[in-house]
Structure 1
C-alpha cells in the first residue's frame, strides 16, 4: 500500500499572507485574523480532516527598501498588520488535541535562551506537537527592528544560525538528564540538581550559562523545519532540518533539489530519509473542470498585482517607484530569498528570468486547478519525484480548506494519498518519523550528556 502524503495548512496571522487581494472578498474571513475564534474554527476543521500541522509563517519587518515608502504594504495588507504566531500557538494548544503546531521564528528576533524556553513550554502544553521553522530573515527593516544598522550578508546569516541552533540544542538536549525530574513529595526534592547542568556556552554572538529552565518536554527539541533554497540554505537544511519546505516551480525542479539535499544530508552522516519535503501548493477545485476553472478565474479577478509586486520587493526603489518589468534578476541586488530566483532559473534555463517572471510566479503560484481526480493526479506527480507532503496555501479563510476537505480529500483517501486517522503516535515527530526525540545521528543529539562533566565545545 502506498504511503499517504503529509498535509500542512500554510498560514499566517495576518490578513494577506501569499495570495494578495483576496482579503477584499466579502466571504474572506482572514480579516478576522486577530480573533481567536477564526483560528480555533480553522484548526478544528483541519484536525478533523487529519492534517498533520498548522504551519504559521512570520516576518519581523516590512518588505521593501530601507527608508522607502510603505504605503502599498499597508494598503494591500502585505503581511502588515501581523501578529505573533507563537502566542497564538499557546491558545491553539489548548483547543486542539492531535494536529501539529508549527511556528516560524527568526534567529534575529529572540535570544536563543528565551526562545528555547518558549518552545519547551509550548511542547509541554501541546504534549509534543510543536515544530520550529528556522529562518534567518531577508528584510532590511527587520534587522533595524532589532538594533542592527542593516541585514547581515546572506551566507553569514547562516553562520549565525549555526550558533543559534547549537545553543538551543544544548538547552533542549543537554541541560537536563532524562531522570532529573523526581517530584519526590516525601523527600521534598522536585528534581535532582546533579542531573541538571549549566551549558556555559561562549561563542561569537552568544554567552549563555544555563541551565535550561523547563524540564524536558515530550520532544525535547521541536520538529525542525527549514526553507532555504540557496546553496548555503540547502547545506544548512541537510545538516539540521527534519522537514524542508520548498516552493519549486515544477516536479522536475523539485526532484533535483530533493536529490541534492538528501545527498548533502548523507554527507553529514544522516540518512536520506531523515528529511521530509513539503511542496507549497494551492488548490482551486470543482466538481467539473469547467467549475474549477470558473473558481480559479474568480480568484484571479480578486488578485492584487500591486500586492504581489510589493511582496516580491525586489526592484522597488526608495521613492516607491519600481524598476521595469523586463529588468533581469541578475541586475538586481539580492541579499534575501535567493532560492526563489535560483528555482526560476532552473525552470527557464534558456534565459535569465526578469522581474516580471518573479512577480508572475508569486501571483500564479502553484495553484492546481481541476476536479478532485485531476488534482489527485497532480499530487501523484509531485509524490513521484520525492515530495513527502504538501504545504497547502489558502486563498481565502476558511473556504479554501473547506472546499479541499469536502471535494478533494475523499478522492485522495480512496487513492491512498491521504491518511484517514492520526494513528497511535502522540508527538508530531512520532507521526512523521516513528520516534519522539531526535535520532542519534542528528547534530543536536550529540549534546545529550555533554555537560555532566562540564561543557563540551561546539
Structure 2
C-alpha cells in the first residue's frame, strides 16, 4: 500500500473498555471538481449530475448503507481567483464553479434515509442570522433532527466583492463577527420558545401560549434582533455545530461552539499536534476533551486487491489537473502560487485565508518534510488538502487504525477521487474489514444526529456555550 504519510508514536486514546470506533463522514459539494481537480473528466465520474436530485438521493442511500455519520456538504459564494489574479483557470477547470446551494439538497436526501446526518456549510459573513435561524430550524424539523451546520467565516475575496465589500474582514475579525452571529442564533434557537409553548388546544383555540414565547432583545455591535424566533423549537433546537478552522483563533472558536470539528493535515505528525491543541482548547473552555468529534480529511483509493487499487490510482492520475490543484491551493492559502517557480519551497507566508494551511506546511517543514509548489500541485491534484492512501481494503483498514491510535483523531472526512465510485469502493472494500475487526459500527444508534454522535441527548449539553441562552438561564435578552 502507498500513502503520503509515515508512521509515528501516539498519545493515549480515551479508555472506553472496548476497541475505539472509527467514524466516517462523506465530503462533497454541490458542484464538480470539489477537491480532486480534473477528475470530472474520468468516464466513471458522475459529479456532473450534481444538478439532479437522483444523484444526491442515491448517494445518501449508499452512505447510509455504509453507516456514515453523515454527508458534509461544503460551499463557497465566490470563485477561486487568487491564482494568476483571475478566475479564468477556476472556470476553465470547473474548480468549484459552477456551484449550487447545499441546503436545498437536504429534504430529498432525508426523505430516502432514516439515520444519515447532514452537515451543511453556510457562512456568517453575508447572510443575516434571523432568516438563517428559520432555515435551519425548518431543516431540523423536516429531517427529524438530523441536521448540522458547518460554520464558516469565509476566505474568498471574490465573495466579499460580490456582496458589496472591498475585501473580506481580517482573519481574526471574521471570527469576532461570527461570535456575535452565533450569539444571536443561540438566543433564537434556545431562548425564545419554551418547550411547551405550542399548546395545540382545540377546545380553547390556543395554538401557542404567548406567555411562553420570548423576544430575545439582542442589540449588539453587528446585529439588532429584538423579536422572537419565528419557528417553533425543532428536535435539536440548535443544529449540531460543525467547524473547520484550525488556526489559533479558529480553534478558540471551535472550543466554544463546535460539536464536530473537521481538520486537514498532510502528515500524522501534523495531525497529532492539531488534535492535541483542539482537545486542550476544549478542556480550557470548560468542556470535556472529547466533547467534539474530530474528523481529518482523507481520500481513499481502494479495490479488492492492492494491485487493482494501484492500477486505479494510476488511471485517475491521467485525468488529474496540477494547475487546477494550484487554483485551489492559492485560494485556500490566500497566496498566488503562479508567482512561484515550481521547485521553490513554500516558506513563511502571511495569509488572510485559511491560516491552518500555511501552519501545516510550516510544521511539516519542521519535521523535515518541506513542500515545493510542484509538490503541492502533484499531491493536491487528488484529495486537495488531505492525504491520499491507496491499497486493498485490508491495507486501508490497517492505515486507518494506525492513524486513530497514533493521532487521537475520531474519524475521517472522506473526499472522493471520483463520485460516487470512491464512496462505493469504501463501502464495498473497507467498511466490511473494519466491521469484522470490531472498530466500525454495524448499525446506527437511535435518535437525532447529536445523540448519534455523542450519546448525551438531543439538545446541547449544559456546558456548551449555547446552553447559557436557554429560556430561564438568565442570559439572553437586553444585550
Q: Bin the TM-score by the shorter chain.
A: over 0.9
Distance 2:472 2:387 in 1: 45
Alignment correspondent of 1:31? 48
- The answer on whether the counterparts of 1:198 and 1:451 sit within 8 Å (CA) in structure 2 is no
| Aligned pairs for 1:92-241 within 5 A | 92-241=109-258
Query: Which among 442, 445, 453 is matched to residue 464 of structure 2?
Result: 442
Answer with 364-373 or 239-248: which moved more: 364-373
- What pairs with 1:312-327 in structure 2 (closer than 5 Å)? 312-313=329-330, 322-327=339-344
The answer for the alignment partner of 1:428 in structure 2 is 449
SS in 1 for 2:414: strand
- SS where residue 290 of structure 2 aligns? helix
Range with bigger deviation, 122-131 or 282-291: 282-291
Match 2:417 to one of 395, 418, 421: 395
Compared CA separation, residues 198 and 228, structure 1 to 2 (3 A): same
* 1:378 alignment partner in structure 2: 399
* Structure 1 position 406 matched with structure 2 position 406: no
- Aligned partners of 2:83 and 2:335 also within 8 Å: no
Aligned partners of 2:56, 2:67: CA distance in 1, in Å? 16
Structure 2: distance between partners of 1:67 and 1:390? 33
Q: Distance in 2 between matches of 1:160 and 1:356?
A: 36
Question: Which of 371, 385, 388 is equivalent to 1:367?
Answer: 388
Name whichever of 125-134 and 102-111 sits farther off.
102-111
SS of residue paired to 1:60 = coil
Query: Is the 8 Å Cα contact of residues 58 and 104 (structure 1) preserved in structure 2?
Result: yes
Q: 1:31-64: CA deviations, max 9, x gaps? A: 1111111111111111122111011000010112
Deviations 1:265-313 (A, max 9, x none): 1111111111110011111112222221111111112111111111112
**Cα distance, 1:126–1:226 mapped onto 2, change above 3 Å:** same
Q: Deviations over 1:55-96 (max 9, x none)?
A: 100001011239942221111100000100011113222232
Which ranges of structure 1 fall in alignment gaps of 5 or more residues?
Answer: none
Instruction: Supply the distance in 2 between the matched residues of 1:416 and 1:210 (Cα, whole angstroms).
Output: 50
Q: Is the 8 A contact 2:81 2:88 kept in 1?
A: no
- Identify the match of residue 260 of structure 2 among 236, 243, 247: 243
1: CA distance between counterparts of 2:475 and 2:430?
A: 56
Are residue 19 (structure 1) and residue 19 (structure 2) matched? no
Q: Distance in 2 between matches of 1:401 and 1:50?
A: 12
SS of 2:318's equivalent? helix
Change beyond 3 A, Cα 1:406–1:333: same
The CA distance in 2 between the partners of 1:449 and 1:304, in whole Å, is 53
Tell me, yes or no, if the aligned pair for 2:255 and 2:285 is still in contact at 8 Å.
yes
Partner of 1:91: 108
Q: Is the 8 A contact 1:20 1:308 kept in 2?
A: yes
User: What residue is the counterpart of 2:269 in the other structure?
Assistant: 252
Counterpart CA distance in 1 for 2:29 and 2:359 is 25
Contact 2:468 2:475 in 1 (8 A): no
Task: Number of aligned residue pairs: give it.
Answer: 455
Segment drifting more, 6-15 vs 120-129: 6-15
Indicate yes or no: 2:373 matched with 1:355: yes
Q: Which runs of 4+ in 1 moved over 6 A?
A: 315-318, 451-454
Among 239, 246, 269, the alignment partner of 2:286 is 269
In structure 1, C-alpha distance between the alignment counterparts of 2:221 and 2:139, rounded to whole Å: 29
Q: Could you tell me the TM-score, scaled by structure 1's length?
A: 0.95
Partner of 1:410, secondary structure, is helix
Distance 1:412 1:352, change over 3 A: closer
**1:344 and 2:361 matched:** yes
User: Normalising to structure 2: TM-score of the pair?
Assistant: 0.90
Coordinate RMSD, CA, aligned: 2.1
Q: Deviations over 1:7-37 (max 9, x none)?
A: 1110001011001111111111101111111
Q: Report the Cα distance in structure 1 between the residues aligned to 2:83 and 2:395, rounded to whole angstroms.
A: 44
- Taking the TM superposition and a 5 Å limit, the aligned residue runs for 1:320-335 are 322-330=339-347, 332-335=349-352
Q: Which moved more, 1:18-27 or 1:353-362?
A: 353-362
Asked if the contact 1:285/1:404 (under 8 Å) is kept, the reply is yes
Deviations 1:198-239 (A, max 9, x none): 111111111112200111100011111111111111111111
How far is the alpha carbon of 1:104 from its aligned partner? 0.6
Please list every run of 5 or more consecutive structure 2 residues that lacks an aligned counterpart in the other structure.
1-17
Please show how residues 306-317 of structure 1 align to structure 2 within 5 Å: 306-313=323-330
Which residue in the other structure is 1:80 paired with? Answer: 97
Tell me, in whole angstroms, the C-alpha distance in 2 between the residues paired with 1:454 and 1:173. 9
